[in-house]
Amino acid sequence: QLQLQESGPGLVKPSETLSLTCTVSGDSISSNDYHWGWIRQPPGKGLEWIGNIYSRGSTYYNPSLKSRVTISVDTSKNQFSLKLSSVTAADTAVYYCARTIVVITLHYFDYWGQGTLVTVSS
Partner 1 sequence: NFMLTQPHSVSESPGKTVTISCMCSSGSIASNYVQWYQQRPGSAPTNVIYEDDQRPSGVPDRFSGSIDSSSNSASLTISGLKPEDEADYYCQSYDISNPVLFGGGTKLTVL
Q: Which of residues 48-67 bind partner 1 (CB under 8 A)?
A: 48-49, 52, 60, 62-63
112 binds partner 1 (CB under 8 A): yes
Instruction: Name, in order, each residue with C-beta under 8 angstroms of 47's C-beta and a sequence gap of 6 or more.
Output: 39, 40, 41
Choices 21-29, 44-52, 70-78, 79-87 (CB under 8 A): range interacting with partner 1: 44-52
Interaction pattern, residues 78-107, with partner 1; x per rule: CB under 8 A: ------------------x----x---xxx
46 binds partner 1 (CB under 8 A): yes
Q: Using CA atoms, how far apart are residues 115 and 7, in angstroms rounded to an integer? A: 9
